[in-house]
Structure formats: structure tokens, C-alpha cells
Amino acid sequence: MSIGHTLLGLLESGPRHGYDLKRTFDEKFGQDRPLHYGQVYSTMSRLLKNGLVEVDGVESEGGPERKRYAITDAGITDVSHWLAQPEKPEPYLQSTLYTKVVLALLTGRSAADLLDTQRSAHLRMMRVLTDRKRQGDLADQLICDHALFHLEADLRWLELTSARLDQLAKVVAP
Amino acid sequence: MIPEGSLLAAHDLRKTYGSTPALDGASFSVHPGEVVAVMGPSGSGKSTLLHCLAGIITPDSGTITYAGRELSAMSDAERSALRRSDFGFVFQFGQLVPELTCVENVALPLRLNGVRRRAAERTALEWMERLEVDDLGTKRPGEVSGGQGQRVAVARALAGSPKVIFADEPTGALDSLNGERVMQLLTEAARSANVAVVLVTHEARVAAYSDRDVTVRDGRARDMEHAV
Amino acid sequence: MTLLEEKRPVAPPRPAALPRGAVTLRDLGLGIRFAAAGGREGWIRTLLTAVGVGLGVALLLLASSVPHLLDERNAREQARSETRISAFSDANAPKSDSSVLRINTTTEYHDRTVAGYLMRPDGSTPALPPGIDRMPAPNTMVVSPALRELLDEPGNELLRERLPYRITGTIGDAGLRSPGELLYYAGSDTLTTSNGGHRIAGYGDNRQGDPLPPLLIVLVIMVCVVLLAPVAIFIATAVRFGGDRRDRRLAALRLVGADIRSTRRIAAGEALFGALLGLLFGLAFFLVGRQFVGAVEIWDVSAFPADLAPDLRLATLIAVAVPLTAVLVTLVAMRSVVIEPLGVVRRGRERGRRLWWRLPVPLAGLAVLALWGRVEEYAPVNPFPITAGAVLVLFGLALLLPWLVEACVNRLRGGPVPWQLATRRLQLSSGAASRAVSGVTVAVAGAIALQMLFASMNADFNRMTGADPTRAQFAGYSEDVTGEAATAAIEQFRATKGVEVVIGSVAAYASKPGDYAEDEVPPTTALTVGTCETLRELARIGACEDGDTFVAHPPGDKDMTAWIDETARKGEEVEIGYGDKVMRWTLPADALTVQGRKDPMGEIHYGIMATTGAIDAGKVPGATITTQIRVDRSVPDVAEHLRNTAARIDPGMRFVTIESVERNRQYASIQTGLQVGASAVLLLIALSMLVAQLEQLRERKRLLSVLVAFGTRRSTLGWSVLWQTAVPVVLGLVVAVAGGLGLGATLVHLIEKEVSDWWLFWPMAGVGGALILLVTLLSLPPLWRMMRPDGLRTE
């Protein structure tokens, strides 16, 4: 995820302090991974340098100095470009799991057990996400569903692989 | 052999159709109020396991214990009576009696148990409200959508105040949005009423509504929690 | 890429649009192909239809061969009757080399008639009845195959004893009315005209048989209508067997591009094929079935296979009408469903069935009957208004039924679970149920109307004989009066096992002697000779000694009393007998005058009554012996023992069972026909209901499994099946009873009789009820089989 573009996008609704930006970001997108302040300020300084934001004012009453940032026209154009550009679909061609399965087969360990264990781990995660989805709001549900669908895809792959283990064994360890 | 505190437990079930074994030493248990998903590829024996657990079919060998009673020792009539009083069922499709209205369908298990019509339909309507389909009361199953029909079926499974609900691919015929909603309503209602659910599904997202999952492969059930 | 494109198969050129007729033919052909090669399901459906239609066609063919059957029977019957030489049936033919003396020795054995003749040829080339090639020698007989079989069976010693003749031959088919007929011709060397023999010149009665009386024609028409109407309905139902599955198949065709018209034509093609196959089946059933008709004898009816030849015109009509009906019924049935590519939509019946066009049909039928159907007792009958009226009434009832079922069922609410399941099911689709039941309705309504007609004709056909079976149950009449015959006969009867009382008397005529002009009638009265005991049964006689004579007056008949007194003048002579053999006898002056009474046969006796000591019975000319016998009914086979005694005394003795009702034989055979036909028709209907029921169950296999999973009791579903059959059948019976009573009352009114019994419908209603039970019971085993969890396994 491009943090720079996200922060720019948040600024489009009006100038904000760095602290505000972090809080809004966390609230909307960052339940899993909150931003560090350092991340915010380093990103903002890069954006400043590129002329996509400008400092709208500085406040320093009763605490550290706080800059207020505002988006520039160039920044707005940049956000538009970013949104218009489709994300490149992830091909997931390099998978640790696949490597593990092949290695297990090569070394004569039980690939089926490995897959079952993985399935179980995936399902546990899905259960957690489902639970969170049940208690959360619509935003939670959408985010969790996104993850759930990916996990489900993995699971389907696991199932398919389990069913084809014999075939695979013949190919990798003839 | 029987896990401590379990409501329904099966041990070493075997069942053969013709020469193909459907169950080959499967074991299983569920606690009161627990939602257990039974997963596995098609043809693995999931449905056979569910039918054995519910006493719809009898295994060739093995024991099934429900609340301290041995199921395979019961007569057909006793098992039928047990299903009427203690079990509820949700299937994938074709389970609502097409000529009865939705509320009559929901009231059916109660009526089979001898509850009078008015009382049964009152209870039925309460459950339908719970599952957000109380507006379908006088409609026939042919006139409602798949998702609504499935909720009616869930309401029916719950209406008889069972101890265990057996759900065989309850969302199999539904799109994911409707499927999720049905699962959410089913598990919520079951948890709040302390009803155990045995949920047969091949969809991981549906299974994720469970507390625990069991995988059936080649007629054998593996409890994944305890296997790890 | 180019590689791929090159590999793409070349699309065949689009065929030019076919002309309309060709399209129709193509679709019909497609339908026939589906029916013939539609896999297992298609075959089952086609087979069901074909068997159903076939059964109906076989019945129709059977009905259409009835005229031929009757003609043939009649022809054989006439061919073996004696050639009449004068209008008087008792006139003897002149003696010749070919003439034959014979006497009818027909007897009854265990409720079956054993027809027979004793024959004595006058010369060397006696005339022979058809079926035999030489005259049986004295004390031998030729028998029909059925009689031979009966005589060979163990347990029929009594019959063998009665027919003590050696069997020397078999009567051929040409001499038999039907294969089951019991008939024998025995030879005699003692038969004379004076002991009852009747001289005939030959065989072959070429006079026209009596035409059926008008009332019987009405009855025959009604029997045909009543029996054939349900068959027509049954065929129409059979064409719709498996319709739901067919509709789904057609939906699949719609998906690949067939239009609605095409699907209709394809369905018509399927129905056509089923019906044509049904015609073949029907022909096969008929041909096979008629081979057994000879062997199976139901209610004394049997026929030679060759007699069952369908009338060519009727057979052609069947061959054309059945496929046509099949196609029409299918097209009409398809009007209520819309076959969409993704499934079948039953056109909603939001407005429900309407009464306004249904009710006028049966009413019109009644009107036709009332306006044009009047039957004069002695005028020729016009069969058309009666047929049309009856058909309109009966089919009108079939039309009323679906409306009534729907109207009633829609008002049903609640009730126990089985009842709820059944009524809700009927509410959703009562059409199928009504269709199956309409056959029952028509059959039962028709049968009720017929029975009322029968009952009201009782006065004509069932003569109350006035006999009193408590005083005597058997009577014999013999003309073989010799000296001791009367006494001997009485003694022999008395000695027979189980006999309690024998009233034997010798009866003759007595008249006032004198010379009378050609047109003058001499005063005449009866002379009865018997013991005191016998005479007491015939008149109110107090003190009586052998040698006494009485003059009995009929009570309450002054004319006859005067006539008797004119003949029987005490102390004067009377002339006994008539013709050349006359005897004079003086009526004693001390004869007492008494009142006559009814004898056990119901006849009032009067005239001169003399004890055996007063006159020598053996010398009385032209006398007959009358024996009336009272028996102990509890003695087994008492009737057969008595008949044997009678045959021993005189094989030509008329020996009858006294019953209070004597039945006209034609009437009896029509009633028999109705019984046979109604049983066959009701069985057919039960079959079609069963098929519909099983089809429905099969479609609900999965649902049944789900209900079993719930723990539904078998009895719950069993009861629901029962109710589902019972509700429409009961409604159908209500319609049938109402309609049948209406039609019956109208018909009875038409023949100017009174309705004698309004409660005759009970037996038919009972049969309808039995039908419910039968169908339910027969559908239970498949229901139990389908109530297994197999249906739960996901397809």
C-alpha cells in the first residue's frame, strides 16, 4: 500500500496536523498495522520536497512544534493518477508453501500432514477474522472479507494440492 | 473413548455402501453449545457421518452416544422420536414442504412433537422474527428467494428447541452474501440458545463460523485442534 | 493464434427455413423420438401411458365385440332350437324317419343350470342338433366339455347320480352357447308322447328372435354409457401420466432454442406415440385376454374367443379416436403450463375455477332427457336423446368435480399434521386429484342411476311369485301319471334325506257333461286328488277321513264360486279329462263345501277335492302330479338329493325351487354385465389413481427423506396419503351420489315408474370407499421404501 498516496488523499478533505493524519489513517485503514510517527513525518517531508504538499501553518502552544500540512494542486493531480492506475494483480508465483511441500516430498516427510497443519492454521485465522467481522462495522466486515477470500483461495489451493499429492510426488521425486 | 462433557460422541464408525466404504473408523464429538464444522472433499463421507450422528442411518459398526444413551441400541421409532424432540435439521435444498406456508413449515417440528397448532405457529413466528423472515409467514416456499427459504429452514431447525442442529451444506445453494448472513444468524441463534451445531460444509468461509473443525478424509475424521 | 483459428471446425451451412407443415412434422417426429428413445425415464413414462391406454383400448375392443358376441350366441342358440311347425309351441311334429321325440330334462346343480334333453329317434335318420354327429344310444349321453369336466371333478357324485348315463361323446363348439355351458343330450328308449315326450321334425329356428323390450334397450344404452364413459376418462388420464417430468424435459429443449409452439408439438408427438403404442398394447391385451375368456367364467358369463370379434366400424373409430384424444388432451393440458427455458411455470389459477360454464352441462343433459327422452312402453325407442342426455349428465359431473374439489379444499384450514399436509397439497394442485377421481364419479353416478332404473323396473322383471317358501321350498310337476305314480312319487320324495313334508296331489279337470255348441264353454273346474293331509294344505278342511270328498270355494270370489257350483253338483256326474280320454265320476252327495286356501306356491286352490279313497287317482285321465316339498334347509345338499330323486322318478319332471321372487333372465344377464363391467372399470380407475399417487411420491422422494430426518412418523405420512386420496374421492362420491340420484330419478320418471328406493347408492358408495383404501394400501409399501435416507444424499 502506498502510504504517501493515502496520506495525500486524506489531506484532500482539508489541512491537517501530522498527528491527525496518523489517527485518521489508523482508524480507517490501519487496524492491523498502526503507523509510526516517524513514518508519517518522513513521508510528509518527501511529499514536501516533491511539492505535493505545503506547510499551511505551525503551532507550538504548550508542547512540541506542530506543522499543519495542506495538499497542493500537483498533489491532487498525483492522487488522481494513483487512483486511476489499476493495481497490478499479484501473481504469487513464489510461494513458501509450495517450496515446503516439494521439500517434504523430496525428503520423504509427510506432505499431507504439512498441508493439514497449514489448513488448520489458515482456518484458525479465518475463524478469528470471522469473529472480528461479526463484531465489527461494515468497514471491518469488508476488510476481513478481503482477507478471508484470500485465505480461502489459499485453502482451496491446499485442498487441490492434497488431492494431487500422489501426482506431484511422481513429478518431483521420480 | 468418549471425550469428557461431550453431548454427542461417535467412536470408530464404519459404514459401507455396497463395496465402497463411506466411513472407515471415524470418531467425532461435540459439546453442548459448540459449533463444529465437518469438512472434507466431496465423497469423503461427511454426509454419511452426519446422517449416522443424527440417527438417520445406522453405522455398520461403532458407537454413537447422545446424552449418555447409545444410539445404535435404539429402535427406529425411538431414534425418530429423538430426532423429533432433540435434533434440528437444515439441508442444502428441497427441504421445505412446498404446499405448506412458511410459518407452517417452521411450526412443523413442533406439531410433529404434539404441540397444538396455534401455540406452534406462535413460536414459529418468533423464530422467524429472529431470522428476519417474519414477513414471509403466509407465503409458500415457492414464492420466496433461496436465501429467505434457507432462513426459514434455519428457523424451523431452531423452532423445536433442539439440543443439536445438523446442518448439511446449509449455504450450498446460496451466494456468498446470503450464505454468510444465514451462517451468522444460525450460529448466533445457536450460541445464544446453547444449541450444538454439526455443520457439514466444504467451504472454508462457512466453516470459519465454527468453534472447531474436523476434517473427514477417506472415511476417517481428524480433529484438527487436537492434531496440532 | 492463426494456428488455432485454422483448426476451428467449419460451421455447417444454415438450413433453409422449413415450410410450416414440415416443421410440424419434424416436431411431432422429435416427440416420437423422445418417447421412443428418451432413456429409462422416457421409456417408463411411455410404457405407463401405453399400458394405461392399452387397458382402456382393450376394454373398448371388448365392448365393441359385444354385438358380434350376442349375434353368434343367438345364432347358435337358434340353430339348436327345434324347428317350429306351428304357432303353438306344444304342437307335435308328424312322425317321420327323421323326427325325434325329446323331453327337456334341464336341472339345476349348485346354482348352475345343467341343460339337457332325453331323446328318442323315431326312425333311422334322426335329425341331430348342431355339435353332435350321431344320436346317443339309450342310456348314454354326449356332454359339453364343461359338463364333462364338472362330472370328472371329485365331490360331484350327486350330479353323476342324477345323470346316470355313460358318456360316449362330446358336444362340439357349434352346439354350445358359450364354452362354460353345461349341456348334455341323452338317449332314451322309453320316452313316449304320453310320458312327456315332444316330437320335433328338426333343428334350426329361423324366426326372428324377440326384439328387446324398450325398457331393456334403455337399460342397455345406460350400461354402455356408464361403463364406457369412465374408460374414456381413464384414457385421457393415462395420456397425462408422467406429465411433470415431460414438462421439465421440454424446458431443457427450450433452453437450446425450441419455441413454445415447438414444445407443444413435441409433447403432442410424445402423446401420439404413447397412444399408438397403447393401441397396439390394447390389441395385444385383447387378443391374449380373449383366449382366457373361455377359461374364466365370471358370474356365469363366458364366451368363445372367436365370438369376441370387434365390430369393424367400432374398431376403426377406436383406432382413430384414441390417438386424437391423446393429442387433444395433451394440448389442453399444456395450456395451463408455460414451459420456460429455465423451468416450468404453472399458470397461476388466481381466479380459481368457474362454475358458470360447468353447471349448464349436466343440466342440459337432464333437459335433453326430460324433453326428448320419454319412453313409451310398447313403441320403438329412439336411443339418441337418452344416450346424449346421459352422456351430458355424466361428463357434466366430471366437469363439476374439479370446481367442487377446489372450492371445498380451499376452505379447509388447520387440523392435525397429516390432514394439514394433505389439504395443503390439494390446495396447491387439486387438478390431478380431481382428474383421477372424475372417473370414479362418472362410474359411480352412472351405476347409481342404473340401479335406480333397475329397481324401478323390478315390478316388470322381478315378478313377486306370491309363493311362501316357509311352507315348501321345492315343487315338482310330472305328466308321467300311471297307476301308482302319484303315491310312488310321494313315497320316494318322503324317503329322501332332509325332507319334512311332501304335499303330493294329482290334478285334473272336471266339467259338466252334456252336449255343447262350438262356441259354448262347459262349466269346468279343477279336480284334485290327495290324502287328507295334502288336501288340508289346499283348503280349510276340518275333519277328514279317507273316502271323503269336498268342494272348495275360492274365498271372496262370487263369480268363481257360482261357476264351481254349476260344475260340481253334489250327487251328480262330472266328466274328468278332455278330448278322447274322458272318465265319468259321480260327486258324492255328502261332499262338504269348504274354503280354499293358498298352497305353498302361492296359488289358491278350489274345485273338487277328493281323497284317494274316493277316486282312483291312477285312472284319472290327463292328470299331472304336483309335488310340493318342505325340507330341512340345514341338511347339506338337500336340494341336490331331492333333484336326484326327481330325476329318478321321472327325468322329465319339472322340478323347481320355490322362491318369492322370480327373475327375468334377460334382466339378470344385463345386471351381470353391469357387475362385470363396473368391477373392471373401477379397477382401472384404482390403477390410474395409484400411478398418479406413486408418481407424486417419487417426485417428492427428497422431501420425504427430509421429513424422515425430522423424525416424522410413518403413520403421519401414511395418513396424509390416505387423506389426500380420501378427500377428493369423498367429494367425488358426493357429486356422484347427487348426480346419480338426479339422473336416476329422471330416467325413472321417463319410463313412467316410481323411484322405489332412494338408498340404493350405498353399495356403490361403499365400493368407492374401498377404492380409497385400496389405493392407499397399495401406495404404502412404496412410500415406506421411499422414506429412507438415501434421498438425502446430495445429487
Grid coordinates representing C670 are 344385463
Whether there are 3 or more C-beta pairs closer than 8 Å between A and B is: yes
> Are B149 and B169 in contact, with CB atoms under 8 Å apart?
no
Query: Does residue B225 lie within any of the structural domains?
Result: no
**Cβ distance of B228 and A120 shorter than 8 Å:** yes
Q: Is C413 on the interface with B (CB under 8 A)?
A: no
Strand C337-340 and strand C107-109: the pairing is: unpaired
Q: Which of A84, A111, A145 is the last residue of a domain?
A: A84
A69 plus A100 within the same structural domain: no
Query: Does residue A143 lie within any of the structural domains?
Result: yes
User: Which chains lie within 8 Å of chain C at 3 or more CB pairs, if any?
Assistant: B
**Backbone conformation region of residue C257, classed left if phi is above 0, alpha if psi is from -120 to 50, else beta:** left
Name the packing angle between helices C383-409 and C714-750 (round to 10°): 150
Using DSSP's 3-state secondary structure scheme, residue C429 falls into coil
Cβ contacts of B94 on chain C, cutoff 8 Å = 702-703, 706
In this prediction, the residues of chain B whose per-residue pLDDT falls under 50 are 226-228
What local confidence, expressed as pLDDT, does residue C298 receive? 46
- Calculate ∠ Cα B70-B76-B82, nearest 5°: 60
Grid coordinates representing C684 are 382401472
Using DSSP's 3-state secondary structure scheme, residue C391 falls into helix
Q: Which of C160-174, C576-590, C612-626, C687-701 has the largest mean confidence?
A: C160-174
Write out the DSSP string of C249-266: HHHHHHHTT--HHHHHHH
Q: What is the Cα–Cα distance from C607 to C464, expressed in whole angstroms? A: 25
Query: Does residue B120 lie within any of the structural domains?
Result: yes
A80 plus A102 within the same structural domain: no
Q: Which of A89-93, C399-403, C768-772 has the largest mean confidence?
A: C399-403
**Phi/psi of residue A65, nearest 5 degrees:** -70, 130
Helical residues (DSSP H) of A29-173, grouped into ranges: 37-49, 73-84, 96-107, 111-135, 138-163, 165-172
Query: Does residue B1 lie within any of the structural domains?
Result: no
Name the packing angle between helices A18-28 and A3-11 (round to 10°): 110
**Cβ distance of B205 and A149 shorter than 8 Å:** yes
Residue C660, pLDDT above cutoff 60: no
What local confidence, expressed as pLDDT, does residue A64 receive? 67
Confidence class for position C48, pLDDT limits 50, 70, 90: confident
Q: What is the Cα–Cα distance from A152 to B205, expressed in whole angstroms? A: 7
**Phi/psi of residue C758, nearest 5 degrees:** -85, -5
Q: pLDDT of A83-105, one tens digit each?
A: 888 777 767 765 788 888 888 88
Q: What is the Cα–Cα distance from C98 to C126, expressed in whole angstroms? A: 4
Beta bridge partner(s), residue C499: C631
Partner C, chain B 138-157, Cβ-Cβ below 8 Å: 140
**Cβ distance of A129 and B208 shorter than 8 Å:** yes
> Are C172 and C145 in contact, with CB atoms under 8 Å apart?
no
Q: Which of A84, A109, A135 is the last residue of a domain?
A: A84
Out of B92, B94, B112, name the one closest to residue C711 (CB): B112
Write out the DSSP string of C265-294: HHHHHHHHHHHHHHHHHHHHHHHHHHHHHT
Task: Pick the range with the lowest mean pLDDT from B155-159, C17-21, C129-133, C639-643.
Answer: C17-21
Confidence class for position C666, pLDDT limits 50, 70, 90: low
**Cβ distance of A117 and B228 shorter than 8 Å:** yes
Residue C439, pLDDT above cutoff 90: no
Residue C361, pLDDT above cutoff 50: yes
Cβ contacts of A163 on chain B, cutoff 8 Å = 41
What local confidence, expressed as pLDDT, does residue B228 receive? 34
Query: Does residue A89 lie within any of the structural domains?
Result: no
Residue C779, pLDDT above cutoff 80: yes
Task: Name the residue type at position C229.
Answer: A
Cβ contacts of A152 on chain B, cutoff 8 Å = 203-205
Query: Does residue A37 lie within any of the structural domains?
Result: yes
- Calculate ∠ Cα C617-C585-C512, nearest 5°: 120
Query: B24: domain range?
Result: 6-219
Using DSSP's 3-state secondary structure scheme, residue B134 falls into helix
Minimum Cα–Cα distance from C706: chain B residue: B95
A126 plus A64 within the same structural domain: no
Minimum Cα–Cα distance from A144: chain B residue: B205
Instruction: Please tell me the total count of domains within chain A.
Output: 2
Query: Does residue B213 lie within any of the structural domains?
Result: yes
Q: pLDDT of C294-312, one tens digit each?
A: 655 544 556 777 777 888 8
What is the arithmetic mean of pLDDT over C514-541? 80
Write the ipTM: 0.85
Residue C1, pLDDT above cutoff 50: no
Of C678 and A45, more confident: A45
What local confidence, expressed as pLDDT, does residue B31 receive? 92
What local confidence, expressed as pLDDT, does residue C669 receive? 61
Minimum Cα–Cα distance from B84: chain C residue: C711
Q: What is the Cα–Cα distance from C107 to C43, expressed in whole angstroms? A: 55
Query: Does residue B224 lie within any of the structural domains?
Result: no
- The CA-based diameter of chain A, rounded to the nearest angstrom, is 74
A132 plus A154 within the same structural domain: yes
> Are C129 and C80 in contact, with CB atoms under 8 Å apart?
yes
Residue B193's domain is classified under what CATH number? Answer: 3.40.50.300
Cβ contacts of B184 on chain A, cutoff 8 Å = 134
Using DSSP's 3-state secondary structure scheme, residue C654 falls into strand
Out of C421, C709, C792, name the one closest to residue B83 (CB): C709
**Cβ distance of A156 and B204 shorter than 8 Å:** yes
Residue C667, pLDDT above cutoff 80: no
> Are C579 and C512 in contact, with CB atoms under 8 Å apart?
no
Q: pLDDT of B102-159, one tens digit each?
A: 999 999 989 888 888 899 999 999 999 988 898 988 888 888 888 899 999 999 999 9
Residues near C258 by beta carbon (within 8 Å), at least 6 away in sequence: C250, C266
What is the arithmetic mean of pLDDT over A117-127? 87
> Are C435 and C405 in contact, with CB atoms under 8 Å apart?
no
Query: How does the average pLDDT of chain C come out, rounded?
Result: 78
Q: Which of B96-105, C215-224, C383-392 has the largest mean confidence?
A: B96-105
A104 plus A166 within the same structural domain: yes
How remote is the C-alpha of C50 from its chain's centroid? Answer: 28
What is the arithmetic mean of pLDDT over A147-174? 84
What is the arithmetic mean of pLDDT over C160-173? 85
Cβ contacts of C427 on chain B, cutoff 8 Å = 99
A36 plus A80 within the same structural domain: yes
Instruction: Please tell me the total count of domains within chain B.
Output: 1
A74 plus A101 within the same structural domain: no
Is pTM beyond 0.90? Reply is: no
How far, in Å, are C509, C513, C523, C582 from residue C573 at the CA level? 13, 7, 13, 12
A126 plus A60 within the same structural domain: no
**Cβ distance of C703 and B80 shorter than 8 Å:** no
What local confidence, expressed as pLDDT, does residue C41 receive? 67
Confidence class for position C17, pLDDT limits 50, 70, 90: low
Q: Is B203 on the interface with A (CB under 8 A)?
A: yes
A79 plus A100 within the same structural domain: no
What local confidence, expressed as pLDDT, does residue C280 receive? 93
A62 plus A111 within the same structural domain: no
Minimum Cα–Cα distance from C423: chain B residue: B99
- The CA-based diameter of chain C, rounded to the nearest angstrom, is 142
- Where along chain C do its domains lie? 22-80+211-347, 81-201, 353-461+662-794, 472-658
**Cβ distance of C792 and B91 shorter than 8 Å:** yes
Q: Is B65 on the interface with A (CB under 8 A)?
A: no
A100 plus A165 within the same structural domain: yes
CA neighbor of C534 nearest in space, from C571, C495, C494: C494
What local confidence, expressed as pLDDT, does residue C283 receive? 92
A167 plus A107 within the same structural domain: yes
What is the arithmetic mean of pLDDT over A26-31? 75
Query: A137: domain range?
Result: 96-172
Confidence class for position C2, pLDDT limits 50, 70, 90: very low
> Are B21 and B56 in contact, with CB atoms under 8 Å apart?
no
The strand ranges marked E within C405-466 are 462-464
Grid coordinates representing C682 are 373401477
Using DSSP's 3-state secondary structure scheme, residue C538 falls into helix
Within 10 Å of residue C643's Cβ, how many Cβ atoms?
A: 25
**Cβ distance of B111 and C417 shorter than 8 Å:** yes
> Are C167 and C143 in contact, with CB atoms under 8 Å apart?
yes
